[in-house]
Homo-oligomer: A and B are copies of this chain.
Amino acid sequence: MGSNRETKRAELRERLIEAAEIELRDKGLAGLKARDVTARAGCALGALYNAVEDLDMLVLEVNARTLAKMGTALRASLPGPDAQPVESLQALAEAYIDFALENRRIWLALFEHRLPEERTVPEEHRQSHSVLIDGIAAPLARLRPDLSPEALALRARTVFAAVHGVVHLSLQGQFVGVPLQDLKSEVRALVEIMARRAG
């Protein structure tokens, strides 16, 4: 396997991304070190900078995969099309919490990783974030037929961000966060409130 240059390059890139994901799962974003990643991937330190631009880009690659997995998990959680909209939203929220709990560090990396201020996230990586809100607009539309498509898209982001905020503060154990043991019931209540109300 991997005889020509292109292939070997892609294989090393792949090994590096996988190694980075393992390191990230084990030690979190702050514990991700270039030397540990390259050691795990079985290459020299400098090879990293030929396979990817730098460590930040490696994190973006891991994040893209995390988002893809999250998308799978969220879609799998959706009940059939004849379910009540509020049930779809509850299912998405619960699946989001479960994913975050089961993949805490790589999920956190999605939101804690920052590029230096002058650098900008490549377009393809920006788009992979849409899985977070893709499932929300449809059930929301049935609950809020009064909203225009633009207002709906906006509101879907708000609903996601609200749920995410509760989960984020809770999972980090920040002092103002909801205790973990109450997280699911509070998010259920929040989603219920956001869904049930009219007009």
B176 pairs with A129, CB closer than 8 A: yes
Closest chain B residue to A194, Cβ basis: B193
In the complex, whether A139 has a CB less than 8 A from a CB of chain B is no
In the complex, whether A30 has a CB less than 8 A from a CB of chain B is yes
Q: How large is the interface on A (under 10, 10 to 19, 20 to 34, 35 or more residues)?
A: 35 or more
Chain B residues within an 8 Å CB radius of A189 = 155, 158
Chain B residues within an 8 Å CB radius of A175 = 121, 126-127, 129-130
A residues with CB within 8 A of B: 28, 30, 111-112, 114, 116-117, 121, 126-127, 129-130, 132-133, 154-155, 157-158, 160-166, 168-170, 174-179, 182, 186-187, 189-190, 193-194, 196-197
Identical chains bound together, number: 2
Chain B residues within an 8 Å CB radius of A116 = 30
- 7 CB contacts below 8 A, A to B, read A28-B117, A155-B189, A160-B176, A161-B177, A162-B162, A165-B165, A165-B166
Chain B residues within an 8 Å CB radius of A30 = 114, 116
Instruction: Please report the C-alpha to C-alpha distance between residue A154 and residue B170 in the assembled complex, in whole angstroms.
Output: 12
Chain B residues within an 8 Å CB radius of A166 = 158, 161-162, 165
Known: A28-B117, A193-B197. A162 touches B165 (CB 8 A): yes
Instruction: Please report the C-alpha to C-alpha distance between residue A154 and residue B183 in the assembled complex, in whole angstroms.
Output: 10
Residue in contact with A129 in the complex, picked from B126, B133, B174, B182, CB distance below 8 Å: B174
B132 pairs with A161, CB closer than 8 A: no
Closest chain B residue to A110, Cβ basis: B174
Closest chain B residue to A165, Cβ basis: B165
Chain B residues within an 8 Å CB radius of A187 = 158
B132 pairs with A176, CB closer than 8 A: yes
CB distance from A47 to the nearest CB of B (A): 26
